[in-house]
Every structure is written in structure tokens, then in C-alpha cells.
Structure 1
Amino acid sequence: MRKEMVETCPGCGAKIQFEHPGKPGFIPQDVYQRKLDAGEEIVCQRCFRLKNYKILTSEADEEEIQRFLSVAIRDFEKFVYVFDVFDFEGTFRPEIVKLLERQEVVFVANKFDTLPKTVSGSQLKSWLLEVIGKSVGIRPSQIFITSTKNGYGLSKLGDFLSGWGGKALILGVTNVGKSSLLQVITSSKVTVSPYPGTTIGLIEHRIGTLRLFDTPGIIVSDRLIDLFDPQCQAQILAKGEVSRKTFKPFPEEVIFVGGLVKIQSTLASQPDLRPIFQIFAPEQVTFHKTKNPEFINHPEKHFGRLLIPPCGRFDVSRLNFKQVEIIVKEEEELSIPGLCWINVKRGPVRFTLNVPENVEPKVRPALMKPKRKV
């Protein structure tokens, strides 16, 4: 029977506290004492409910996390930067990577299982080297492609980290799967959750000769998914191979991806032909094509049913929208961070997008290469 006082929650890293229910680290004092006397695992109420009931009782404070990270980064020379390969533009943050440019950085491209099965690991790695080079001006020395769902690449990453030595900080924005990754490669008991902001302190893991420290997910606000509450975010995250749908729309037709993104399109060079493109999105995100003015002007009537996200009622009046025109060639793709990406089959396509003003659509080299004519 152990009597040592537990000062931090082993699940999320928060300081154990008894005064503020609903806040990170809270546990009723009588429950804490009972578990301590019995030698049972002590985790905060928040982590207990996440583990056992998948209920989120509080969210991490954005400013507190940012201050925490700015201090923590100064104490490390080695970093593991994890991003989501499906939402590359939303989770690979050049502004963060540039802060680490003089350090030793390992890149981990997680959630490989969400990509179409026609994309091979070698194809993805070549693509990542190209787009990372363009976005930050460096060619990464180490990129590991992983999936905690099917185990892809985990042993290779684990072997490398176990021999790296010293200490390293693992970084990534919310919901890229850092904690799930660590749980598998270190066999630890971290709280793993689909909700953003689960990890709120440094949590130390050991793998071989390396001391690996997990950090809070970095909270950003320019992905479409960031507009929704944590429960809706958890619902619409890609959890398996993403869905795709091919469109060949007329100019007057509007395509909704969820309820907050409207797309119209024409061929930029041959207006007498219709464009052809595929949209890739997580399986819970819906597509809807229409030319009905009532539907186009009042999509909120269909939120949570025909149009997901939002996952239910949503006050769309609090958002400002912008119209963006972008031309995308056949060897390029259009990404809408935190929602979807579009692969052009017949182009170049002139897209007219209506999106929330915080979201910045981006053109990138195509991951899904078009078939070449013989």
C-alpha cells in the first residue's frame, strides 16, 4: 500500500487540486484520500470521465497553454513535431517549425490510415519532402509516417527514438494524435481522448535512452474545425479512411461541404465544358449539391442533418464570411484547413468559395496525381 502524495495527474499532467470542480486537476479530496490509502491509481476527475465515459468536463485555457509552451521550448534542443497527414495545411504550422530551425527536429506524419489506400508510404514521403521544403525552406532529415490505428510505422519510429538519447519535447496542434502515439510506443497510461486540450502539462515518458516529454496540444483558430464545440470536433475528426465524392457541376450549382463552406466552379480555360474534381473529407462530413435558392441562402435550416458540420444548432450569425476566387490546376489540390481537400481531375478550375473569414483555403501540389495520357 503506497502513501506517497500524488501532486500531478498522470493522465494529463495537471496539478492535483481540490478547490475548483470542472477545472483541470480537480478530484474530490475524499476520493483522493481513499485512493491514496488503497494504493489505487489517482487521476483527476476530468481524466477519469474521459477514460471511462468519454465525457469532457473542462477545456484547457488557450492563453495558459501558449505561455506554458513558450517557456518549455527554451529548455529543449530536440523536438518531435507531429502533424495530421489528412489535414496537413491545418496542422503543419510553418510558424512553429521556423522557431525550431536551429534545433534537431523529427517530423511525424500521423493518421496515415485516413488517406486513400492508393497513396503509398513512399509516395506520401516524397510529397511531404516537396511541400515542407516549399513551406519552410528546409528539407527534413527525418520524417516518419505513422498510424496508431493500424500500427503503420510505429516500430520504426520507436526504434529511432529509443536510441536518440537525452531528452526531447513532442509538439503538435490539438487532435493530431500525439497522446495516442505516445501511449502505443511507450506503453504508458496517458489519458487519450478525441477532444482538444486533453494534455495540459509536461508528461514524461521513457523510451530506451530517451526522456520524451508530451505537451499540451497547441490551440489554433484558423481551421474550420476550430469553430465548433469539442463534442462536434470529436464527431467530425477523420477516424478511418476518408470519404470522397466526384463532382461534375454546372456553373449555377452550389456544393456545400458541411454547412459553412459553399463552392461554385467553372473551367478556367474551356467554359463550354464542366470541371471534374473529387472532394475528400472525414466520413462524418456531408456533401450536398443544389441550385435551390432557398437552400443556398438559408443552409442553417439543415444543420446537423443534411449539412454536418455543424453537428446541430449553430448560431451562424456570429460568423463573418468571405468570398475567395482561386484557380487550381490539374497537378494541384485545394485544401480547406480543418475540413477537406479537393483534387482536380479536369481543369484548371476556377473555384468561388464562401468560407468563414478565419479560414484560409490553400493551393498545394497534388498528392493524388492525375493519370497521365499515353
Structure 2
Amino acid sequence: MSKAFQTIEKCPGCGSKIQHDKPGKPGFIPADVYERRLKEGKEILCQRCFKLKHYGMLVGEVDEDEIIDFLRKTVTKFRNFMYVLDIFDFEGTYRPEINEMIKDKNVIYVVNKFDILPKSVSGAQLKKWLTDRINNANSDNIFITSTKNEFGISKLKKYLENLRGEMLVLGVTNVGKSSLLKKLTNSKVTVSPYPGTTIGIVKHKLKNLKVYDTPGIIVNDRMIDLFDAECQAKILAKGEVNRKTFKPYPEEVIFIGGLCKISAKMKNEESLRPIFQIFAPENVSFHKTKNKNFIDNFPKYFGKELVPPCKKMDISGLNFKNLSIEVNEGFELSIPGLCWINIKRGPVQFDVYLPENVSVYIRPSLIQPKRKFKNS
């Protein structure tokens, strides 16, 4: 090891001592990467903070309980909070564990990625829908944004610039907190002076307000969390969500990616077929089939007809469940981290097959129907 490696260095992202021997632990950076970036005069971040800063992901040997414990201790130091949500994955990012931590606090809700919704959804319509969904929310403390096209950014920035003191930013992984704060503050990463933890929070400043960004909370009940980081990045909703209308026969199976399949029939009208739209990120595949060989051997098609997974994946360690769910017109079936299904003609009786840990929700429709379908 060169003499440079013996120099005591600390990661500016979390304050941990730089080390090269324990991957996954705070402060780890491969020795060759450290040496190269040191010679080139580039910023040196530990591997965990590098991925946190550039990809919004907390990696390594840190689990959900550790993050939640850290946040519970940190939350007591603040009165003001910014809770960042992802409108594509509302149920997956609006979390009871976060709500419990910030009850009786001053909270603003920033609902990000507005650009991915169909153009037919107006900001006013979305705000009304959110007000009905979010506890203790009103039109004054909900901000709808898009970091991609900067929708709502100037309004949020103006609001924050009129505040003083400190504000803590919370949210699960992949909601776009880092991108949002970069748009708002244009500040660089600095170490927050909070002792007693190797996880750390990152301080930004906006006029008279200090804004502290926290690591994304790791959850385990969204479909996207089952895939590797590279695949997550590929299937995250970036452009306007893909949608497809289905009018299936009862014997047909629809795969949404590779780990979720559904079949559907009308609840009461046997002579009619249900009609619904599935909304998912552009790289999530839809595949309708009644081929029994395909249905029984679906893992063979991972990364091909069925994405995600983005490549071969061993699912022998996953447990799956079958759910029977009735969804009426005016409601949607939401599968966090994957898709939502909007009912056009129902009520629809769904049989859903997916990993046991992935939650499923029925919610009032975000996408309002524009026309009635004939009885055909």
C-alpha cells in the first residue's frame, strides 16, 4: 500500500474514516479508486456516500431497522420537515413509519416526478387527490414538483427562502430527494455536525434556512426493491409512464414484468369482459398469454419478454402469494414499485400472483375516466 493510503482521511459525506478492507462498511472505498481520485485531485467519497449522492441509494450493511433507529433519534432535534414522495409510487413512498415519526411536527409534503403522469392529469386535480390521501395535509403544505422539467421548483424555492432555522428532509430510496435539493440549493455536500452515528446527514443552505438531507429509508414491500441496483435504475419511472388497455378473457394471464401476473373477469356480468389500463414505467413489460408452457416456465423469459428482472434471476428464495381482489370502477389497484391498474369497466375480480412481501392497495382513481365503454 502506498504512503498516500496511510494518510488519515475522512469521507466528507458521512465523516467516517476512509478504509479499504471492509466492503459494505462505512468509509470503504477500493484502494485503486482512492489512489486514482487522489492523484487526479477529485472528490473522495466512500462507496456508500458515492452511491447515496449520485444515485440516491444507501448500500452496504445497513438495514431498515438501523436507518429507522437513526432517524428516530435525529427527528427529535427538528420541528420542521420536508417529506418527499414519488407520485408514481405513492403507496410505496407514503409510509406509516415516517408519519409516526413526524406527527405533531411542521411538515410540508413535496410530491415529485409530476412529469411522468399522463398530460390529462392537472396539477389542481392531483393536489385534490393528494389532500384526500395525506394525513393533515392541505393545499398550503403540498408542493407538486418535477426535477426533470423544473415544474413547481421555483414556487417551492420561494416558499423555503422565506423560512428560517432548520429543516430535515425525509423519504424512502429513489424518490429523488438528492436531485430536488440540488435544484433548490445548488450547494455541495458538507458534513453535518451530528455525533454518534456513522450514517450521517448532509447539510444544504437556502438563504436563512439550513436543510438537512437524510439517507433514503430502505423498505421491503415494493416490487422494485427485489432487483439489483442496475435494474432498479433501468426501470425507475423517468419519462411519461407507459400505459396499455386490456380487455382480457378469463383464461388469459397478463404478466407485468416477470414477478407479477394477473387474470381478471367481471364480478357480475359473465357476458362482458373487464376493461382496465395498466400504468407502469416505460421499461416494464406487459405480456398477455394463455400459453400454459410460458405460464408454467416464466423464469426462462426473465430479461427478455419479462422485464424486470433485467436478466436471469434466481427466485428460489422468494415466496409467492395468490390474492383474489375485487376492484370497482372509480378505483385503482396499486402495486408499489411496479404499476397501478385503472378500472374502466367493472367491478373486476382480479387474481394476483406476486412475491409475498410486496403489498397491494386499492385506492380512489388518480386517472379519471373520460368515456363510458359500451356493453360489448
Q: What pairs with 1:126-275 in structure 2 (closer than 5 Å)? A: 126-132=128-134, 136=135, 139=138, 141-190=140-189, 200-275=199-274
* Residue type of the alignment partner of 1:209: N
Contact 2:331-2:343 within 8 A present in 1 as well: yes
Query: 1:298 Cα shift?
Result: 1.2
Q: What pairs with 1:55-70 in structure 2 (closer than 5 Å)? A: 59=60, 61-62=62-63, 63-70=65-72
1:211-267 deviation per Cα after TM superposition (whole angstroms, max 9, x unaligned): 100001000000011111111111111111110111000000000000111101011
The structure-2 alpha-carbon separation of the partners of 1:57 and 1:157, relative to structure 1 and needing over 3 Å to count, comes to closer
1:308-338 deviation per Cα after TM superposition (whole angstroms, max 9, x unaligned): 1111111122111111111111111110011
Q: Which residue of 1 aligns with 2:348?
A: 349
The structure-2 alpha-carbon separation of the partners of 1:203 and 1:51, relative to structure 1 and needing over 3 Å to count, comes to closer
Give the root-mean-square deviation of aligned CA atoms. 2.9
TM-score normalized with structure 2 length: 0.86
1:18-37 deviation per Cα after TM superposition (whole angstroms, max 9, x unaligned): 34353443357898799889
Show structure 1 runs of 5+ residues with no match.
192-198
Q: Which residue of 1 aligns with 2:82?
A: 80
Contact 1:259-1:303 within 8 A present in 2 as well: yes
Q: What count of residue pairs does the alignment treat as equivalent? A: 356
Contact 1:322-1:356 within 8 A present in 2 as well: yes
* Residue type of the alignment partner of 2:261: K
Question: 2:28, 2:14 → 1: CA distance?
Answer: 12
Moved beyond 6 Å, runs of 4+: 28-39, 49-52
The structure-2 alpha-carbon separation of the partners of 1:122 and 1:75, relative to structure 1 and needing over 3 Å to count, comes to same
Q: Which residue of 2 aligns with 1:98?
A: 100
Question: 2:302, 2:36 → 1: CA distance?
Answer: 46
- Other structure's SS at 2:76 match: helix
* Residue type of the alignment partner of 2:154: S
The structure-2 alpha-carbon separation of the partners of 1:101 and 1:286, relative to structure 1 and needing over 3 Å to count, comes to same
Question: 1:50, 1:243 → 2: CA distance?
Answer: 28
Question: 1:223, 1:30 → 2: CA distance?
Answer: 35
Sequence identity, in percent? 57
1:8-55 deviation per Cα after TM superposition (whole angstroms, max 9, x unaligned): 534x43523234353443357898799889976443355568989x8x
- Other structure's SS at 1:245 match: strand
Show structure 2 runs of 5+ residues with no match.
1-6, 191-197
Contact 2:116-2:241 within 8 A present in 1 as well: yes
More divergent stretch after superposition (60-69 vs 303-312): 60-69
Query: 1:183 Cα shift?
Result: 0.9
- Other structure's SS at 2:232 match: helix
TM-score normalized with structure 1 length: 0.87
Query: 1:73 Cα shift?
Result: 1.0
